[in-house]
Structure 1
Amino acid sequence: MRPLRTLSAAIAVGALAVTGAVASGAAPAPHAKARDAVEAGPAKAVEARTKHDVRIATYNASLNRGAEGQLVRDLSTPDNAQAQNIAEVVQTTRPEILLVNEFDFDAAGEGARLFQENYLSVGRNGHEPIEYAYRYTAPVNTGVPSGLDLNNDGTVGGPDDAWGFGLFPGQYGMVVYSQHPILEGKIRTFQDFRWQDMPGNVMPTDFYSPEEQEQLRLSSKSHWDVPVQVGTTTLHLLAAHPTPPSFDGPEMRNKRRNHDEIRLWADYVTGGKTAEYLYDDAGVHGGLDRGERFVILGDYNADPVDGDSWDGAIDQLLLHSRIRDPKPTSAGGAEASVLQGGANLTHEGDPSLDTADFNDSPAPGNLRVDLALPSKNLPLRGAGVFWPEKGQPGSELTGEYPFPTSDHRLTWVDVKAPGKR
């Protein structure tokens, strides 16, 4: 049986951005071509790209471990089988910009560096190595002790009383890899934003004490606005990984939190008065200016039709007036729904849109939770999900439980970056 993954993790230490093959020092502290080519497979889609097209991907790679420091140890040699397979998926699809979810954070950025040097930079099974000159990682809330009894079990401490569920600070973190310069001085993070400060939030106030309501952070990990310079165009990468809408009781605290974590980006890209309440970790208020170009990336743990999420949670993004939903598909997702059966047989959504291979018996079945959503002012060139049918090239990299890579699938969007490259 394939469990629905418990997500979340992090640590409260300085953010780290790494430029080139070696660390260039700490980044600002978190305070501060056509669709037919895509459907023919990732290799064809790569060939179809022009010099003005940029591929941007998100991948919950399940590079999380059960003990602090274990991921760094696993990546310190080039022979970890899971990391090899994940690197091959990336080398096959070849995104120019990549968000990796569930990548344990360490303050020195060693894990992010080692994954580049020992895995991405080493060609796998005939695929060319892929180099990212820039990367960014920063603290997240998962695993950071809150000092509060957030699960109301009468004791304080443990993963369920952290600001975000996690066994240690940094578990289930995030990292951005980019072949284009990251504008470090313009990065905004929202790790410390408090849930109660969102007007009209759906926090279960009858579950949390007044003290807990006063302090509880909204983001189970963090929300990052990472601007990247693609030629003369600035693209804002809006990265997040909301908590799964499950593992709670009748108070539905996780469902509610998932909804409002998603809402944060909806308000942020709306901007203007709608976003005036938002403040980043440097104390700067407001959202994106009109006309800015962005791509929302991450595992949002919410399917628009099926699963356990709060009604309409992900529609806050999918139906937003400034956001384009490219509806990426895969042949493998459609095939898996039929072959695995179980909860999938009762789903109403199109299984070719699924991006995660979750437990089918009894629930939730496969879902669409991983998103790469561009702003409408970015011309769409294509999109896809790396989930080949059985027997097709690359299918050995997705597989079935126990997965050779992850229970999630890399999801990408190709957009045209206006201006000179």
Structure 2
Amino acid sequence: MRRSRGVLGGLAAVPLAVGGLVLPIAAAPASADESPATTVSVRPDQAAALRVATYNVSLNRPEAGQLVTDLTGGADEQARAVAQVLQTTRPDVVLLNEFDHDADEEAIDLFRSEYLAVSQHGEAPIRYPHVYTAPVNTGVSSGLDLDNDGEVAGPDDAYGFGEFEGQYGMVVLSRYPIDTKNVRTFQHFLWKDMPGALLPDQRTTDAPRDWYSATELAAVRLSSKSHWDVPVKVRGRTVHVLASHPTPPTFDGPEDRNGRRNHDEIRFWADYVADDSAGDYIYDDAGETGGLPAGALFVILGDQNADPVDGDSYRGAIDQLLDHDLVRDPEPTSNGAVEAGAVQRGANVRHDGDPALDTADFADDAPGNLRVDYVLPSRNLPLRGSGVFWPAADEPGSELTGVYPFPTSDHRLVWVDVRMPSRR
């Protein structure tokens, strides 16, 4: 949701030449709806691999219904470029952030049929027969003055910032079956119901008064979009895809209500996957309580809007996941990110973090490029490889990331390959 520039870095698996780029081979699921011509063959020792990715595609539009209009006919250049990135990297499961949600799911059906299932600039089509999407909090009117500007109107008074319901929505695409009966959503979970929440009140800030009134506090939801637990069935095992897109920790005042909310949206998953009682307070939209069972396989993924070192996020926000005992940080990298930081300079020269880990090309003056997009598997999923799709300027594929205004998004696709344990 910001701006600036554009090697497929961190490639740690067996290479495959695809459209001029060298990529590690991802396993093709037996249930994938794909013709033999487009199925990637794998070596026997690659058969247990699963590629999971997150990609903030910036396929959001200023008005409801505009994305459906833009995608109709298969000619939208941004959507074609996004589809080409997916066809090049070929994830088995991918979360798309900032994909406008519509009640009839027309937009995602169009994207699958008229973009992903059609070759883009010579790349093999990719088909995702399984999809999960649901309503989010963006643009949903609260009927309250949540931004304290004296009016009850506009995107800042919605449960999540948005000009209309569903703007900046989320979609999970999968080549493996999704256990839709056991999906859990947490769209309506109240922020106040998180024990020790960093609410912007006098208890935790120097503000002269609480930011939210008692009435508002009884209504404010934790998720700026939603939190989803999407179980995916992979060769007899279940992997819980834990998807979210916390609010940016900016666009507020000294009360830091967005920074605090971002911290707690991230904390939600840390508590949810804990193998103790940390997640007992959690309830889903169906009224079921508690977090994941001990020993579950999971991957936490999404645009978390928090860098571990630089940027404006609340102190330690993303470290709640990166330092979690049950979570693995693959630290995916790219050469393109290093190049971008060196060329763009600006805020980037003042950063303390490793530029190779950056996943978003933000404004040069502030905040600079950051690591905000994550794919974090559970420690019981052995790592096979990882990377960020950010080609250097002189490498094939750089036309898909480019410089501002970006042909795809200011975020880069992040992928991780894990080895699936044998069936128990």
Considering the TM-score relative to the shorter chain, is it more than 0.5? yes
Alignment partner for residue 335 of structure 2, among 321, 328, 331?
Answer: 331
What is the match of residue 219 of structure 1? 223
Contact kept, 8 Å, 2:53 with 2:414, in 1: the verdict is: yes
One of 44, 62, 71 as aligned partner of 2:23? 44
What is residue 12 of structure 2 aligned with on the other side? 35
Aligned residue number for residue 346 of structure 2: 342
Q: Given the alignment of the two structures, is residue 176 of structure 1 paired with residue 172 of structure 2, yes or no? A: yes
Of 287, 310, 313 in structure 1, the residue corresponding to residue 314 of structure 2 is: 310
- Asked if 1:395 corresponds to 2:391, the answer is no
Answer yes or no: is the 8 Å Cα contact 2:13–2:384 preserved in 1: no
1:133 to 129, 136, 141: 129
Cα distance in 1, alignment partners of residues 78 and 214 from structure 2? 44
Q: What is the CA deviation profile of residues 29-64 of structure 1, one whole-angstrom value per residue up to 9, with x for unaligned ones? A: xxxx97265799964312777111010000000000
CA contact (8 A) 2:3 2:361 kept: no
Deviation at residue 3 of structure 1 after TM alignment: 4.3
Deviation, 1:124, is: 1.3
Partner of 1:287: 291
Name the Cα RMSD after superposition. 1.9
Report if the CA contact (8 A) 2:87-2:116 is conserved.
yes
* 1:11 paired residue number: none
2: distance between equivalents of 1:109 and 1:239? Answer: 18
Confirm whether residue 416 of structure 1 aligns to residue 395 of structure 2: no
| SS of aligned partner of 2:24 | helix
| Aligned ranges 1:218-237 → 2 under 5 Å | 218-237=222-241
Q: Give the Cα separation in 2 of the matches to 1:160 and 1:94.
A: 37
Distance 1:202 1:57 in 2: 30
Instruction: Please give the TM-score of this superposition, normalised by the length of structure 1.
Output: 0.90
Map 1:238-253; keep pairs closer than 5 Å: 238-253=242-257
- Give yes or no for contact 2:136–2:225 (8 Å, CA) kept in 1: yes
Runs of 4+, deviation exceeding 4 Å: 1-4, 36-42
Aligned-pair identity in percent equals: 61
Q: 1:199 to 1:420 in 2, by over 3 A?
A: closer
Q: Distance in 2 between matches of 1:346 and 1:139?
A: 39
Alpha-carbon separation, structure 1, partners of 2:226 and 2:16: 33
Shift of 1:233: 1.1
State whether residues 39 and 330 of structure 1, in contact with CA within 8 Å, keep that contact through their aligned partners in structure 2: no
Tell me whether 1:366 sits opposite 2:369 in the alignment. yes
1:54 and 2:57 are equivalent in the alignment? no
DSSP-derived class of the 2:264 partner: helix
The equivalent of 2:189 in structure 1 is 193
Aligned to 1:208: 212
Paired residues of 1:272 and 1:286 also in contact (CA < 8 A): no
Question: Which amino acid counterpart does residue 188 of structure 1 have in structure 2?
Answer: R
Q: Does 1:66 align with 2:45?
A: no
**1:222, 1:241 within 8 Å by CA — same for their partners in 2?**
yes
Q: Which amino acid aligns with 1:263?
A: R
* Structure 1 residue aligned with 2:29: none
The aligned residue for residue 204 of structure 2 is none
Q: Cα–Cα, structure 1 residues 239 and 76, in superposed 2: closer, same or farther, change >3 Å?
A: same
In 2, distance between residues paired with 1:91 and 1:172? 22
Whether contact under 8 Å (1:43, 1:93) holds in the other structure is no
Tell me how far 1:350 sits from its aligned partner. 0.4
Offset of residue 2 of structure 1: 5.1
Distance in 1 (alpha carbons) for counterparts of 2:74 and 2:148: 43
Relative distance call for 1:34 and 1:394 in structure 2 (3 A) is closer
